[in-house]
Amino acid sequence: MDRPVDGTPPGSGLQDRPSAPDLHGPDADPLLGGRRALSAAKNELRICWIDGRIAPIEQAVVRADDSAYSEGRGCYTTARIVAGRARWIDRHAARLSRSASQLGLGDLEEDRVRTAIRELASKAFGDGDGIVRMQASRDGDGIVHLVGVPRRLGDEPDQWSAILVDLPHTGGGLARGLKVSSRLTMALAGDAAREAGVEEALLLDGNGWLVEGSRSNILVVADADTLVTPPLSLGAVAGLARTLVLERVPSIVERAVSAEELRSAKEIIAVNALRGARPITKLDGKPIGDGAAGAWSKRLSEVLEAD
Amino acid sequence: MDRPVDGTPPGSGLQDRPSAPDLHGPDADPLLGGRRALSAAKNELRICWIDGRIAPIEQAVVRADDSAYSEGRGCYTTARIVAGRARWIDRHAARLSRSASQLGLGDLEEDRVRTAIRELASKAFGDGDGIVRMQASRDGDGIVHLVGVPRRLGDEPDQWSAILVDLPHTGGGLARGLKVSSRLTMALAGDAAREAGVEEALLLDGNGWLVEGSRSNILVVADADTLVTPPLSLGAVAGLARTLVLERVPSIVERAVSAEELRSAKEIIAVNALRGARPITKLDGKPIGDGAAGAWSKRLSEVLEAD
């Protein structure tokens, strides 16, 4: 592999770094404490897809002993539907199938995932646009189930504002890089973003390194116009858009990024399979670079719109 | 508070510690990779409880947009039922209600939880013994649901064997100390224990500090017969049994415990609300102390059986 990987290796060279804040004391309650969770995804379409049939969203479709429900042992993917067709459907299907195996859920054939995405997209959007979220889990008898929920893409600004949630990303743990339903920390970070009225919340790990956003992978234009992104070893999801830009832009460097570097970046770019590349032009209320979309965000947008 | 808290503060003094292993590389696959998840809890009773009614376990009771199912935003508790009555029912109800609020789920009255536990215990066990697991989450319309699953206590040896899963505990993240359904790492660690044929898997954090077991809090008898347990700031669940022994044994010290200290401990004791205190007399196949239950494990058992 000829991709440059340099910079401070995570887990070493941290001697000068302050210790992580005590997040567990009675006074440390930055996100929680009786506030109402804010809804990320409206279910305005009011349907779901369960093992081949469409059901009203109000109808129960998941068992009480479902693995995603009871222990967060589920994996999911969110596909963008454009003119009735799912972008990167083969990649979505391959990743979901592989993740199901890695989580010990059992076999999930890629073709079953493709069929599911197509059926739900067709029912929900016809030849139109939208988003389909498919999740796999298994019940207490070991049967793998696939459940889909469609939603509208919704309006968002072309340029994002973000906050830095200075709280520990929980890392990948044993589920390295997988897109798992066990994602409470990401959900709470998403709450914080919505409460702050911004589009994204970025998370650091306990050592102060950037990991990812609550719903995107992050790239940063650091010194000398080098585009860098945190390595997956720090715990980020191996997002499809991240994988695609790494494949298509060989000069991207994977290395650890500190909060200081993030704040002084020329550009910060969020990528995911739903939105492509979005410049984060404001972080914690302060402009990033000159406060406008930069050259790299335009380049990555083009790269992700190429197919 | 007069409880002694000493020892190396987590997050500092780690200069000599080796960096965490790269868990994300293609060759690092200690737990995952196509193995079948092993079932922790048999659903031999084949029923569940959902918002006041009993349903067969095969029947779907949870919506596709349920917060625990889709993003791990759920909290739960597992109560021991003895002769038809739930031990520590008020503590279970108070913790579950408080957790629901802290996760932003909404209001969950303690009395609703008590009623749920009693109804399900009565239906499942009559005047007998067992376990009731109650989980709270909310649907996409914001309604808080309560779902219970009963199971038998099952046979386990009085003394436990354990393995040390030398992989990062994901910490508490934003959900400090809460017993949340977003617990994939714990589930995978439980798989590893069952696969190794032992009763428990202990987890270290990325810096090498003991956090907790996959289903218990851990106490260690270190030098000079001091009983120590990791502080919640390292990410452990604030288990009911842990809380009880801390209340009832004021000499217990909360401080960080390294893997080395764990291996050379005189005693290791696992506590949870279902099993009380269990001596871990073998770790990674090697005896702890003299390989028999020690004085502190007996003392903690008595302490937890006192009511």
Chain A residue closest in CA terms to B175: A185
The answer to whether A233 faces chain B, any CB pair under 8 Å, is yes
If you count them, how many residues does chain B have?
Answer: 307
The answer to whether A53 faces chain B, any CB pair under 8 Å, is no
Query: Which chain B residues are closer than 8 Å to A26 by Cβ?
Result: none
Chain A residue closest in CA terms to B97: A34
The answer to whether A186 faces chain B, any CB pair under 8 Å, is yes
Q: Inter-chain contact B37–A12, Cβ cutoff 8 Å?
A: no
The class level of CATH for A47-151 reads alpha beta
Which residues lie closer than 8 Å to A252 by C-beta, 6 or more apart?
A: A3, A219, A227, A228, A229, A245, A246
Helices (H), chain B: 67-71, 89-102, 110-125, 184-196, 240-248, 259-263, 295-304
Q: Which of A35, A47, A152, A172 is nearest to B168 (CA)?
A: A172
Residue whose pair of structure tokens reads 């049967």 in the numeric block: A143
A201 compared with A39, residue with greater pLDDT? A201
The answer to whether A5 faces chain B, any CB pair under 8 Å, is no
The answer to whether A164 faces chain B, any CB pair under 8 Å, is no
The answer to whether A142 faces chain B, any CB pair under 8 Å, is yes
Mean pLDDT of chain B: 88
The answer to whether B8 faces chain A, any CB pair under 8 Å, is no
pLDDT tier for residue B39 given thresholds of 50, 70 and 90: low
Q: What is the pLDDT at residue B6?
A: 41
Single-letter amino acid code for the residue at B252:
I
Q: What is the pLDDT at residue A25?
A: 39
Which residues lie closer than 8 Å to B181 by C-beta, 6 or more apart?
A: A69, A70, A71, A72, A184, B68, B72, B73, B74, B75, B76, B135, B137
The answer to whether B58 faces chain A, any CB pair under 8 Å, is yes
Distance from the B67 Cα atom to the nearest Cα atom in chain A, whole angstroms: 8
The answer to whether A147 faces chain B, any CB pair under 8 Å, is yes
Distance from the A22 Cα atom to the nearest Cα atom in chain B, whole angstroms: 6
For the cut 60, the answer to whether the pLDDT of residue B41 exceeds it is no
Whether the CB-CB separation of B73 and B103 falls below 8 Å is answered with yes
Query: Which chain B residues are closer than 8 Å to A175 by Cβ?
Result: 32, 184-185, 188
Average confidence (pLDDT) over B144-171:
91
**Residue B271: is it exposed, middle or buried by C-beta count within 10 angstroms (0-12/13-18/19+)?**
buried
Q: At B100, phi and psi to the nearest 5?
A: -60, -40
If you count them, how many residues does chain A have?
Answer: 307
Q: What is the pLDDT at residue B5?
A: 46
Average confidence (pLDDT) over A140-168:
93
Which residues lie closer than 8 Å to B1 by C-beta, 6 or more apart?
A: none
Which of A22, A148, A233 is facing B22, going by the closest CB pair?
A233
Which of B36, B55, B72 is facing A72, going by the closest CB pair?
B72
- The pLDDT tens digits for A227-278 are 999 999 899 999 999 999 999 999 999 999 999 999 999 999 999 999 999 9
Chosen for mutation from B19, B70, B163, B194 (greatest number of chain A CBs closer than 10 Å) is B70
Q: Inter-chain contact B182–A72, Cβ cutoff 8 Å?
A: yes
Whether the CB-CB separation of B230 and B188 falls below 8 Å is answered with no
For the cut 70, the answer to whether the pLDDT of residue A21 exceeds it is no
For the cut 50, the answer to whether the pLDDT of residue B205 exceeds it is yes
Query: Which chain B residues are closer than 8 Å to A171 by Cβ?
Result: 168, 170-171, 206
Letter string b/e over residues B153-173, b meaning 16 or more CB atoms within 10 A of that residue's CB? eeeeeebbbbbebebbbbbbb
CATH of A160-304, one of 3.20.20.80, 3.20.20.450, 3.40.50.970, 3.20.10.10: 3.20.10.10
Q: How many CB pairs under 8 A join A and B?
A: 280
- The pLDDT tens digits for A160-216 are 999 999 677 876 677 778 999 999 999 999 999 999 999 999 999 888 999 999 999
Chain A residue closest in CA terms to B22: A233
For the cut 80, the answer to whether the pLDDT of residue B124 exceeds it is yes
The answer to whether A106 faces chain B, any CB pair under 8 Å, is yes
Q: Inter-chain contact A173–B180, Cβ cutoff 8 Å?
A: no
For residue A18, the 8-state DSSP code is: P
Whether the CB-CB separation of B175 and A185 falls below 8 Å is answered with yes
Q: Which of B69, B67, B49, B68 is nearest to B59 (CA)?
A: B49
Mean pLDDT of chain A: 88
Q: What is the pLDDT at residue A7?
A: 40
Q: What is the pLDDT at residue B170?
A: 73
- For chain B, what are the domain ranges? 47-151, 160-304
Return d(Cα B9, Cα A218) in angstroms, integer.
31
Which of B19, B66, B235 is facing A11, going by the closest CB pair?
B19
Q: Inter-chain contact B22–A72, Cβ cutoff 8 Å?
A: no
pLDDT tier for residue A16 given thresholds of 50, 70 and 90: very low
Distance from the A80 Cα atom to the nearest Cα atom in chain B, whole angstroms: 18
pLDDT tier for residue B207 given thresholds of 50, 70 and 90: confident
